[in-house]
Amino acid sequence: MPTTVDNSSTPPATDAPPGLPAGRSRGRRQLRWAVPLLLAAVAFVGYALPPYVTLDPGRSRLPVPQDYPQYYPLLVAHILFGSVALLAACFQVWPWFRRRYPTAHRWIGRAYFFAGVFPAGIAVLGVAPLSSTGFVSQVGNTMLAVLWLATSIAGYRMARQRRFVEHRRWMIRSFALTTSIVLNRAWLILFVILLLPHVDTTYGGDQDAMIRAAAGASVWMSWVVNLLVAEWWLERGDARRRTRRTGQAAGRRDTA
């Protein structure tokens, strides 16, 4: 993801405290979400990765089909490369980091794509159709993998063509899909809590069926909601820039 900073995407700070430069004030405000984001990513990777570093199928948190020997190596590859993508993404969406360290941004971007999203996305295409939580999860995870690859490839191509505004838009979508795995766990817990009182009625006492339903819903919600939020964020930024340009044009007319 070799790129430069899209300065037009970040509105100028106008509320810097007296004596504090606007850029430094903006950077400190960004820490309020950048640091928690990075800590959440590190915590998630610290939880998800260790069982697979040993390469022992017996420690897998997901059932390993005995009749599909490629499943476990693909699963391990997806988790390893996906961990790289998740950690790298936290730095890539941090505006202060992009401005302060543009060279690091480019190299981490390459790692995000070539050592993260691309191999992880290819690997999960061999895993998602065999999800143990049923057909709904299988379709949802497969669609997620396809869109993850598509948005990331589009973002990389835009960077190569030096079309940095489009690059930023596509990579925000890619980031939304990258972080869906973290939100998936939150949605799963929520749906299990909501469905648990209905195990005996709706699911005839079959707790496994209830968990499959909750897992299927969480898969779809995790990436669909993330993409919707990303699109809202992009449209919000576009509206602000249009308003700013209109105000600047009006100001020029008034002073002409």
Q: How many CB atoms lie within 10 A of CB 124?
A: 25
**Closest among 193, 147, 152 to 171, alpha carbons compared:** 152
Does 77 reside within a domain?
Answer: yes
Residue with tokens 């106008």: 14
**So what's the pLDDT on residue 236?**
86
* Domain residue limits at 69: 27-255
Does 92 reside within a domain?
Answer: yes
Whether this model's pTM surpasses 0.85: no
More confident residue, 85 or 30: 85
Does 210 reside within a domain?
Answer: yes
Does 18 reside within a domain?
Answer: no
**So what's the pLDDT on residue 216?**
96
Does 15 reside within a domain?
Answer: no
The total number of structural domains that make up the chain? 1
Q: Which residues contact 143 (CB under 8 A, 6 or more apart)?
A: 223
Does 78 reside within a domain?
Answer: yes
Residue with tokens 């795995």: 181
Amino acid identity at 255 = T
Does 8 reside within a domain?
Answer: no
pLDDT range class, residue 16, cuts 50, 70, 90: very low
- Dihedral sign, Cα of residue 185, residue 120, residue 36, residue 28: negative
Does 48 reside within a domain?
Answer: yes
Return the H-helix or E-strand segment holding 157.
Answer: helix 135-160
Average pLDDT over residues 168-190: 95
Amino acid identity at 112 = Y
Residue with tokens 């990331």: 152
pLDDT in tens, 112-140: 999 999 999 999 999 999 988 899 999 99
Helix, coil or strand: residue 4: coil
The per-residue DSSP string of 178-232 comes to HTHHHHHHHHHHHHHHHHGGGTTTTSTT-HHHHHHHHHHHHHHHHHHHHHHHHHH
